[in-house]
Chains A and B, each alone.
Chain A
């Protein structure tokens, strides 16, 4: 099996879907000739032509709005918003239109679109190149929000997203584009070619929606997380020696509740970890779900480790980013009771 970076895996998914389905079209800012600022769409325009893969004006609302119209026609657009930090101008189209089209028309029209957005911090991206806005999508009924943590899942989940007839917000942690990152910013980058999850089948496969992965089996506590924080949690488990069961949600909402509940019922302890700010973050929903479904199995309060309730700073990146030390401390706290 070939080794791929997450960038290559995502490109492979789109290449394959362009090949398989004439209705798949790909566009966004700098996505066409140039191949994307992160190279995710490199070579696709040359291979499939400008009517399938093309550059778009700098207008997130226009990109998403036209995609909804194309979806209503019968195409399957896969569009890119250059950074998740810049989706806000498209929020009306996403919330009021894409998410509700099937419902309000009783299935007369629907929006089978995938909106790709590089997200997350840990790259000195500052305020507008680091945000994790997932909760602004998980809160919207009618949307599917997914986030892969590795090349294997990235390809399978993107194919599943493109094939799905619901609108999918596909969040790509850009810190994981070239290799896994556990929060130890002072250590050299390990490329995906040296990680088992960097082995990606060349052909078609899917990672189903609403399926979480047990990333690291364990018995002491359950860490509910996704994206870059999966590797941070793994480092925290390694460094504290606590046998954490790490659940990579993959699909944030709708999610794989049985896998979460089974794990917390087994371990009796739960730590929720995400990069996004804490208050009303997605962790609050996860904590509520765990409390509702696992109350009599819990042996300690549910902990949340998240970004601070501040805009994402530049110089203070590593004081902001919830690294393995902060996650490890939470692991220890829940084990104290």
Chain B
């Protein structure tokens, strides 16, 4: 080494905040509400470059909806959205307790991220297909035609579990609600969503796909693959990246978020991209509609980075106080999506504290009733499960000989 050269050093990103040290959220590069332009849906991907580095926001600190992205959304729709968010949060809180009571083996909440999935669900149409991760329960809970009891039965793995006890809690599948089967393997569904969208285009259909991934999972190869295929075939798909800043204990910088954005990856692949306040329900609706309209008009895919914060633990197996400040969410500049929409609705005279309390009581009762009903069908803990014989079904469409034999070996079916 010559003397004028400094030794190379490996750079390993670190979050500014650790237990006992406050996070410096200036890395987020926020924009003011109403500040970011809204291009026509026909915009070319390259013309969205600036949008990938700024932040689409509608609700300001006072709760007013301002700027070009303020959606046409009447008070009834927004109230529906608020209730869907509150329902999701109430559901999560109750299931967290059920896990602590050992009624369910595992749970993952979406605390703080409720606006994204519920708002997006309201922007889609019947027949569109979402390819969610394990943190988009809001897609289901935003829909009135999805009984909570079915979801809880899956969580309890009981004899009414639609998935027959085969899946971990939270890994729902509900085709009729446009909700693809959740897999434990990260990112795989992101490219499958593109394939679903391609199929819709091949058949001359009008339905679109919606793909979901977290910030951490964007490092998986299927993220890159999905963007390439979506771009190449101009697939009618919305590519949602939920940047909640954390992948279990790993800060988003270690996923490649340092000094850049996940939305920028979209532009780099030739995909129109937006970076949106994920805690602003109105911005979620507006951006989701914009992307859906692009997809439905054969204008191709859209990538949306939703900037939010994972307010809760990663899962019931996780203790975030070991790797981040315990009061981090309080300092997150984009706040709480429920509080922000409630503030807006109050401001336009479409909501009141009394209504809020009443709605919360009703949701508490609704979730408790659903829990009670689901528990009537048993739980993993009390052994009221699907028969072990069901374990051998659905591996193939028709059970092959070797599985029939193995089922016999378990003593469940007599020979001959």
Contact = CB atoms under 8 A, between A and B. Distances in A.
Given A65-B188, A69-B194, A103 B401 contact: no
A102 B129 contact: no
Nearest to A61: B225
Contacts of A222: none
A31 to B, nearest CB: 14
B194 A66 contact: yes
Nearest to A55: B232
B86 interface: no
A62 B183 contact: no
Contacts of B105: none
A75 B209 CA distance: 15
Interface string B202-214: 1100000100000
B180 A110 contact: no
Contacts of A264: none
A73 B174 CA distance: 13
Given A65-B188, A104-B173, A166 B194 contact: no
Contacts, number: 139
B191 interface: yes
Interface stretch (B132-140, B254-262, B389-397): B389-397
A290 to B, nearest CB: 14
A89 B175 CA distance: 28
Contacts of B162: 106, 108
A59 B226 CA distance: 10
Interface stretch (B32-40, B53-61, B164-172, B351-359): B164-172
A62 B199 contact: no
Interface residues of A, number: 44
Interface string B195-235: 11111111100000100000000000110011011001000
Most A CB within 10 A of own CB, among B164, B200, B202: B202
Interface string B393-414: 0111100111000000000000
Contacts of B360: none
A110 B222 CA distance: 20
Interface string B124-164: 00000101000000000000000000000000000000111
Contact of A108 (B175, B194, B198, B199): B175
A108 B129 CA distance: 13
A42 B352 CA distance: 68
B147 to A, nearest CB: 16
B241 to A, nearest CB: 17
Contact of B173 (A52, A68, A70, A105): A105
Most A CB within 10 A of own CB, among B129, B198, B228: B198
Nearest to B390: A106
Contacts of A104: 163, 166-167, 171, 173, 181, 183
B225 A59 contact: yes
Contact of B229 (A59, A96, A142, A144): A59
10 contacts: A25-B202, A59-B225, A70-B202, A73-B199, A73-B203, A93-B222, A104-B171, A106-B173, A109-B180, A165-B397
Interface of B: 129, 131, 162-164, 166-167, 171, 173-175, 180-181, 183-185, 188, 191-203, 209, 221-222, 225-226, 228-229, 232, 394-397, 400-402
